Amino acid sequence: MPNQEPALESALKHFFGHDQFRFEQRSIVEQVLKNKDVLVIMPTGGGKSLCYQLPALLRPGTTIVISPLIALMQDQVVALKDNGIEATFLNSTLSFEEVRSRQKDLLMGKIKILYIAPERLFTSSFHDFLKQLSQKVGISTFAIDEAHCVSEWGHDFRPEYRQLFQIKQLYPQIPIIALTATATQRVRTDIVQQLRLNDPTVYISSFNRQNLYYEVIQKSRKPYQQLLAKIQQHQGKEKGAGIIYCLSRKHVDEVSNNLTKDGISALPYHAGLTNTQRENNQTKFIRDDVQIIVATVAFGMGINKPDVRFVIHYDLPRNLESYYQESGRAGRDSEAASCTILFGWGDVHTVRYLIGQKADPGEQRIAQQQLNQIISYAESPICRRQVQLNYFGEQFIPPCNNCDNCLSPVPIEDWTIEAQKFLSCVYRCDQRFGMNHIVDVLRGSNKKRIFELGHDRLTTYSIGKERTADEWRMLCRAMIYQGYLEETTDGYPILRLTRKSNQILKKFVSVKIPVTQKIAQPIASKEKVTSTELNEESVSLMRQLKTLRKELADQQNVPPYVVFSDSSLRQMAQLRPQTADDFSKISGVGSRKLIQYGKIFTQAIRKFCSDHNLEVSTESFSKEPTVVDKGSSKSDISSTHLKTLDLYQNGLSPSDISLTRNIRLSTVNGHIAELISAGYPIDINKLVDRERQTVIKQAIAKVGPHSLRNIREETGETYDYQEIKLVRAKWELEMPSE
Ligand code: ADP
Ligand code: ZN
């Protein structure tokens, strides 16, 4: 019996150039092809788009994608077009004429994927248009991107998303695929209800972003120097793009100015700039014209730059969820990337003070709790990934081997005696002083103030000389974190004992604290910089390929990542493909990109090899390479079949395809028959009249499927081999399996 499963891998390679599906992509695609409603929850960078884009290409009709952000829509369409896929968007930035012309193309079945903003969906003119589209061309699926926007519980509620329930009412037969990166259960339930999803299959991927390295560095007295050192780590072999987040506009401007002075290419982004300035800076960043963007958290929501190599929080993130989202803007392409927090207690005091200013006690409490969670994250000696995933309700067993705590575990030491000294000192000072004063007393400082207060006469004066001031501060913070001390939050932090303090003073419990080496070496980091280290030659080739990519991207006015991802370039630099066949094996090289860029990239690689006395292939770059068929399926669907499919699904008839491709009509029909056999959803009713199908099927039932000639003798000569082939393929597919 023929292979029922579409050769999805072949289609994946043909359209997108990827060799394999990630995680559950394959099974999601299968569900969508079966017209099931689906909810996909996948972290940023997980590869959500493909889950609706691939099915859109394999089925007749248009897929409608609802997306809230205009910039994202444009990016997606540009990227699709670069893969040779017909996609377009309709939104408020277009002129009336432009909208008309795009709608015309849609009604002619030329477009497989249409992106629209939710507010457009329910205007009466669009409503009529959609009706026409569904009658003339058909709507294969509604894909709802950023589906958490329907939920008031999400972090990005959009009232216009609330209207989306109408889709199910108006088009009950058309499947919906909803996609989001939101992790909370409440929002998930809300999505299913709000969109009226019909018994959806729910896919929840792990929120673990394995390619991200997490670290926290204690801010020293010169944090800018630390930041600079951190950035310089990334300046090495491949200058990767980075985002630096600051809390205030003032801070953003300061840091970006200083970086520029220090010769690092950086631009600011915050609400104080004009729209045009912001847009310009953002575009420069996306196109790799500037390396670093220094921004307030306003930056990032609407951008899609998969190759951000580092995200540094120069100031404290607001809470763990936003930290996960903001740091998650690094490494969307699954290549190694790093996420750093520069953690300073000064910042904590500032935030505490701001929280104290909030009028609503409820809000204050929530903000305080969120702050505490971020502090625990920063202070925790355990695996960073474990803390984050635990926050999202996901179990993770360390070590992850890709965070600072796992790579250089912090020793835990018993500091009970020191803790007793510290707490006694707080008590002797009448619980009216802050950390630095207590440390001064313990270390026997000669500051004037100590003598003025008479604190040199306390029994705890000078009993702590054996520890440095930094060590005492570390202990103090650990005790706050563990609840043995509390610090007032009115902006003037004063240390007070808690109910638990007595347990230490009375020696009921011992105090164990993580002893951070980071105090001594604030900048040291053992980060794994790239997933696969390139040798010197490859690094140099990679640099050249990046320049070539940038040139090609600028010529077409698209971001460089649209041409090829970093990981594709890395593979090229390592494997140095010089023929079409080898080039087509690079991940990210689909059929279209092979034709569009194959020659120019392999030429550059050849030249590099000859300049560096490396082997140069004698074979020329041939035009018709053997792409695809990774051996995963029994059928022999190759790129030439998929080209036919592509045109067919775009509305061309077999004879049009034969003309366009300059191949014989029988070859085209042969392709279509084989695609049917491989399970691709092709509507045979459009190709062969129903009555004729019945006659052919009856003939097959009588004489068996094996000999076309026998079947034709049975049907009579008015039937041709082409239609018999098509119907036979369908007939075989419909046969119950043996
Ligand atoms: P999301 O929308 O979930 O944040 P995207 O759809 O933008 O993620 O995909 C993130 C990146 O992963 C893109 O660069 C995309 O090309 C890449 N990608 C997606 N699926 C695959 C795959 N199966 N193999 C390799 N790369 C993939
Ligand atoms: Zn870890």
Q: Are residues 192 and 216 in the same domain?
A: no
* Minimum mean pLDDT range among 90-99, 218-227, 369-378, 423-432: 369-378
Q: Are residues 646 and 618 in the same domain?
A: no
Strand ranges (E), 426-544? 485-487, 495-497, 512-514
Using a 6 Å cutoff on CB, does residue 329 contact ligand 1? no
Q: Is residue 173 part of a domain?
A: yes
212: CA distance to ligand 2 center in Å? 10
Calculate the average pLDDT of the chain: 86
Number of domains in the chain: 5
280: CA distance to ligand 2 center in Å? 37
- Statement: the pTM of the whole predicted model exceeds 0.75: no
Q: Are residues 488 and 373 in the same domain?
A: no
For the stretch 575-611, pLDDT in tens is 999 988 899 899 999 888 888 899 999 999 999 999 9
Whichever domain contains 501, its CATH number is: 1.10.10.10
Q: Are residues 461 and 545 in the same domain?
A: no
Residue minimizing CA distance to atom 11 of ligand 1: 333
Whichever domain contains 576, its CATH number is: 1.10.150.80
Q: Which two tokens stand for residue 246?
A: 């600051």
Measured from the Cα of 50, ligand 1's closest atom is 6
306: CA distance to ligand 2 center in Å? 23
Q: Are residues 618 and 689 in the same domain?
A: no
Q: Are residues 263 and 360 in the same domain?
A: yes
Percent of all residues in the chain with a pLDDT value above 90, rounded to a whole number: 44
Using a 6 Å cutoff on CB, does residue 50 contact ligand 1? yes
pLDDT at 244 over 60: yes
Domain boundary among 156, 179, 204: 204
Using a 6 Å cutoff on CB, does residue 43 contact ligand 1? no
Cβ contact 604:548 at 8 Å: yes
pLDDT, residue 649, reads: 73
For the stretch 654-666, pLDDT in tens is 888 887 788 888 8
Q: Is residue 217 part of a domain?
A: yes
Q: Are residues 43 and 189 in the same domain?
A: yes
Q: Is residue 392 part of a domain?
A: no
Q: How far apart are CA 122 and CA 564, in angstroms?
A: 37
Ligand nearest to the CA of 16: 1
Q: Is residue 148 part of a domain?
A: yes
560: CA distance to ligand 2 center in Å? 32
Q: DSSP 3-state helix, strand, coil percentages of the chain (rounded to 5)?
A: 50, 10, 40
Q: Are residues 216 and 194 in the same domain?
A: no
Using a 6 Å cutoff on CB, does residue 473 contact ligand 1? no
Q: Which two tokens stand for residue 138?
A: 């058909």
Using a 6 Å cutoff on CB, does residue 500 contact ligand 1? no
Q: How far apart are CA 643 and CA 85, in angstroms?
A: 11
pLDDT, residue 490, reads: 60
Whichever domain contains 224, its CATH number is: 3.40.50.300
Q: Are residues 428 and 368 in the same domain?
A: no
Q: Are residues 181 and 288 in the same domain?
A: no
16: CA distance to ligand 1 center in Å? 10
Using a 6 Å cutoff on CB, does residue 639 contact ligand 1? no
Percent of all residues in the chain with a pLDDT value above 70, rounded to a whole number: 91
pLDDT at 267 over 90: yes
Whichever domain contains 714, its CATH number is: 1.10.10.1390
Q: Is residue 367 part of a domain?
A: yes
- Total residues belonging to the chain: 738
Q: How far apart are CA 366 and CA 106, in angstroms?
A: 49
Q: Are residues 456 and 356 in the same domain?
A: no
Q: Is residue 399 part of a domain?
A: no
Using a 6 Å cutoff on CB, does residue 333 contact ligand 1? yes
Q: Are residues 578 and 638 in the same domain?
A: no
Cβ contact 266:294 at 8 Å: yes
Residue minimizing CA distance to atom 9 of ligand 1: 47
Reduce the DSSP state of residue 246 to 3 states and report it.
coil
How far does CA 537 lie from the centroid of its chain? 30
Cβ contact 432:494 at 8 Å: yes
Domain boundary among 158, 173, 204: 204
pLDDT, residue 353, reads: 85
Q: What is the CB-side half-sphere exposure of residue 229 using CA atoms within 13 A?
A: 14
Q: How far apart are CA 477 and CA 637, in angstroms?
A: 63
Q: Is residue 430 part of a domain?
A: yes
Domain boundary among 514, 547, 570: 514
Q: Is residue 36 part of a domain?
A: yes
Domain range for 590 is 536-623
DSSP bridge partners of 214: 339, 403
Ligand nearest to the CA of 65: 1
Ligand nearest to the CA of 387: 2
* Minimum mean pLDDT range among 67-81, 549-563, 620-634, 722-736: 620-634
pLDDT, residue 434, reads: 92
Pocket test for ligand 1, best of 26, 44, 49 (most atoms within 8 A of CB): 49
Split at pLDDT 50, 70, 90, the class of 625 is very low
Using a 6 Å cutoff on CB, does residue 47 contact ligand 1? yes
Using a 6 Å cutoff on CB, does residue 44 contact ligand 1? yes
Split at pLDDT 50, 70, 90, the class of 4 is very low
